[in-house]
Amino acid sequence: MRELVLICPEAQAEPLSDALLDAGVLSVTVEDADVDSDAETPLFGEPGMEPQVQAWQRNRVVALLPDGLDPAQLVEQAAQSLSIQVSSENWFVRQVPDADWVRLTQSQFDPIQVGSRIWIVPSWHRDNPAIPHDLAAGDPAVAPVLLELDPGLAFGTGSHPTTHLCLEWLADNIQGNETLLDYGCGSGILAIAARKLGAGCTDAVDIDPQAVESTRYNATNNAVELNALLPDQLAAGTYQVVVANILSNPLKVLAPMLSNRVAPGGHLVLSGVLERQAEEVAQAYAPWIALSVWRAREGWVCLHGRRVA
């Protein structure tokens, strides 16, 4: 493939980028043309402040060209659309080395082991001999559990500490056949793990229809049955385990609803909470369920409590 490289001043960087995209290039990036030189200048100001400028004094606009697109015609078309002049000295075309981008991307993602039992395995690693595959041998209570989930898909793929905390709680506490609600299911990783660990009827709920579809796809791909649905489709009733891995503010808002979804004697498991937010979230649930920190990791906590029977 080829790239068009165009040098331009600050005021033209953003308009030229838009014009090139409108003309059919595959992608555009803007770089400091003076990087690594004495003329290099910072673009951003203090953290949290809006930058005073949107580009550098001299910019290198790099556009990835599809096959068959004439770069000279492309530059002329973009310049005419902006009523500017672009000298032939200010642009050139360079070759992009061929690469197997799929294989290169996949090489960055290895299987993730969570605790002693759970493995999150990208599909291209399903036959990796380093991963334990003999799931039928030995005690099913300690057998490895494989979750096939590909990085790059939306809604979470198991790398975040809060996901690890919830997975570890499920691995340590699912006894078998518990009814379970995964609220804010995203990719469905917690609901799928629960089913593979032996949970019974499992509902996975998310406010995003695409997350619901993602959960259904991943459940089918992992050969488990669960109900993935939107909140207004969830029938009345309670569960022996309710797990929600979202963020502290929505967790506080949802406190009455989630608490009342927990059956007497059932478990409530919450994550997506920073250590400094733990007490505040626990207070929101105090009228219904007493929560405490079950485990912490990298500044995040997993809260757990049981509803009084």
User: Any idea where the domains of the chain sit in the sequence?
Assistant: 2-98, 158-306
Q: What's the pLDDT score for residue 25? A: 92
What mean pLDDT is reported for the chain? 88
Q: What's the pLDDT score for residue 293? A: 98
Instruction: Specify the higher pLDDT residue, 41 or 36.
Output: 36
Q: What's the pLDDT score for residue 45? A: 47
Is residue 6 within 8 A of residue 61, CB to CB? The reply is yes
Of the listed ranges 2-11, 27-36, 196-205, 279-288, the least confidently predicted one is 27-36
Mean pLDDT computed over 122-131: 79
CA 116 to chain centre: 24
Fold of 158-306: Rossmann fold (3.40.50)
Give the architecture (CATH level 2) of 2-98: 2-Layer Sandwich (3.30)
Per-residue pLDDT tens over the stretch 159-172: 789 999 999 999 99
Residue 51 has pLDDT above 60, yes or no: no
At 46, is the pLDDT very low, low, confident or very high (cuts 50, 70, 90)?
very low
Q: What's the pLDDT score for residue 203? A: 98
Q: What's the pLDDT score for residue 52? A: 54
Q: Is 200 exposed, middle or buried (0-12, 13-18, 19+ CB in 10 A)?
A: middle
Is residue 65 within 8 A of residue 2, CB to CB? The reply is yes
Mean pLDDT computed over 80-85: 93
Collect all residues with Cβ–Cβ distance below 8 Å to 4 and sequence separation of at least 6. 20, 25, 62, 63, 65, 71, 74, 75, 91, 92, 93
Instruction: Specify the higher pLDDT residue, 106 or 21.
Output: 21
Q: What's the pLDDT score for residue 300? A: 95
Residue 94 has pLDDT above 50, yes or no: yes
Helices assigned H by DSSP within 138-208: 161-173, 189-196
Q: What's the pLDDT score for residue 103? A: 64
| pTM score, whole prediction | 0.68
Give percent above pLDDT 90 in the chain.
67
Residue 252 has pLDDT above 90, yes or no: yes
DSSP state of 165: H
At 97, is the pLDDT very low, low, confident or very high (cuts 50, 70, 90)?
confident
Residue 103 CA to residue 107 CA, distance in Å, equals 6
Is residue 259 within 8 A of residue 290, CB to CB? The reply is no
Of the listed ranges 36-40, 68-72, 233-237, 282-286, the least confidently predicted one is 36-40
Residue 107 has pLDDT above 80, yes or no: no
Residue 215 has pLDDT above 80, yes or no: yes
